[in-house]
Amino acid sequence: MKKLLWGGLMGLLFALAAQAGDVLKLKEGHPQTYVVERGDTLWDISSMFLNDPWLWPQLWHHNPQIENPHLIYPGDRLNLVWIDGQPRLVLARGGDVKWTPAMRSTPIDQAIPAIPLEAVNAFLTRGRVVAEAELSAAPYILAGKEGHIITGAGDEVYARGDLSSHTVWGVVRRGQAFVDPDTNELLGVEARDIGSAKRLSNEGDVATLALNRSTEEVRRGDRLLPEEERRINASFFPSAPATTVDGYLLSVEGGVSQIGRYNVVVINKGAREGLTEGNLLAIYRAGELVRDPVTNEIVKTPDFRAGLLMVFRVFERVSYGLVLRAERPLAVNDRVRNP
């Protein structure tokens, strides 16, 4: 299947000022021309031209005629020009400079992605966070056929609970519980995807299912949730949150202690705080505790900005984010705020 991967070329490749009407400021040492290479992302390219590439919506304010962003491909040439006293990048393809928006259909692996999709693909399709009550009430694996304790793809299993509402079910295992550091509120529980199954038959509250996919062994007690039917967003348009956000990094995928570029993290803010896919948040490391040499008091130094993340999947109370920039190692409990 062919898909269109929409990337914010015009928006991601300009330097913008904080207020509309200011002269757009380019990154020091930026190139005048850049030829797109295979493996580039729009974020990488925009970072060559901008200190803050995420401020693209203000550019669209100056270009209201642009209804759709461009697709760019390896071999395309980006030329820096000035129009009405403002810097602009225009796309040259096949020797011609393209001054107006253009589109073309191409296999998804040929277009330049906005971010490295391989870093977030599993979380876009199968990762989810649910309420504790929902997971506790979900149907569960009772046993494998012939009494098997551990099963996998190709096996049949018995499950108990009400499975009549759906034919295809996701097999999940309870993961980390996310708790708000300030309020101790339970924000949700990670339902870690380990497979999927198709319901074959029911007898009372016991159903027979065929496991058609497994990423690890399926065990007795693993839970079953309806497979999500959700549209996978293959492009993200970086933007500032519409509301004030002040939260924390709760966890990092893989259980590592040091967080860096392209790590997937969980934050303690979600849809109820107004976050949407594509929102960017600055990451702040906590200040240090130092002893005042005059008063002998212990004083905390100010928090300092150390990175940038983009929210790519939003739940009610938490969100998944991808670290796009890390000036120094980051850690769980670092703060996240409006950029």
- Whether residues 158 and 185 fall in one domain: yes
Q: Quick one: pLDDT at residue 6?
A: 33
- Whether residues 220 and 304 fall in one domain: no
Centroid of chain to Cα 108: 18
Q: Is residue 106 part of a domain?
A: yes
Beta bridge partners of 71: none
Q: Residue with structure tokens 């769980």?
A: 332
Question: Average pLDDT of 99-118?
Answer: 50
- Whether residues 100 and 33 fall in one domain: yes
- Whether residues 132 and 178 fall in one domain: yes
- Whether residues 90 and 164 fall in one domain: no
Which of 120-129, 229-238, 249-258, 330-339 ranks highest by mean pLDDT? 330-339
- Whether residues 17 and 102 fall in one domain: yes
- Whether residues 82 and 13 fall in one domain: yes
Q: Is residue 238 part of a domain?
A: no
Q: Is residue 65 part of a domain?
A: yes
- Whether residues 15 and 108 fall in one domain: yes
Last residue of a domain, one of 90, 114, 138: 114
C-alpha to C-alpha distances, 170 to 122, 225, 253, nearest whole angstrom: 14, 5, 20
Last residue of a domain, one of 91, 114, 137: 114
Q: Which domain holds residue 104?
A: 9-114
CB 316 within 8 A of CB 271: yes
**How far apart, in whole angstroms, are the C-alpha atoms of residue 18 and residue 126?**
37
Q: What is the pLDDT of residues 271-304, one digit of tens each?
A: 999 999 889 899 999 888 999 999 999 999 998 9
- Whether residues 272 and 204 fall in one domain: no
How confident is residue 161, by pLDDT bands cut at 50, 70 and 90? very high
**Which of 14-23, 78-87, 236-245, 253-262 comes out lowest in average pLDDT?**
14-23
- Whether residues 196 and 251 fall in one domain: no
Q: Quick one: pLDDT at residue 60?
A: 38
**Which of 121-130, 188-197, 320-329 comes out lowest in average pLDDT?**
121-130
Type and span of the H or E element at 137: helix 132-137
Q: Is residue 119 part of a domain?
A: no
Query: Does residue 124 carry a pLDDT above 50?
Result: yes
CB 223 within 8 A of CB 173: yes
More confident residue, 142 or 54: 142
The proportion of the chain whose per-residue pLDDT surpasses 90, expressed as a percent, equals 42
How confident is residue 94, by pLDDT bands cut at 50, 70 and 90? low
Query: Does residue 103 carry a pLDDT above 50?
Result: no
Last residue of a domain, one of 62, 85, 114: 114
How confident is residue 12, by pLDDT bands cut at 50, 70 and 90? very low
Q: Is residue 235 part of a domain?
A: no
State how many domains the chain has.
3
- Whether residues 75 and 18 fall in one domain: yes
Q: Is residue 236 part of a domain?
A: no
Nearest to 306 by CA among 266, 280, 279, 336: 336
Q: Is residue 164 part of a domain?
A: yes
- Whether residues 257 and 316 fall in one domain: yes
More confident residue, 195 or 40: 195
Question: Average pLDDT of 53-71?
Answer: 45
- Alpha-carbon Rg for the chain, nearest whole angstrom, is 24
Question: Average pLDDT of 225-247?
Answer: 78
CATH classification at residue 262:
2.40.10.410
**Per-chain mean pLDDT for the chain:** 78
Question: Average pLDDT of 52-71?
Answer: 46
φ, ψ (nearest 5 deg) of residue 104: -155, 155
Q: Is residue 220 part of a domain?
A: yes
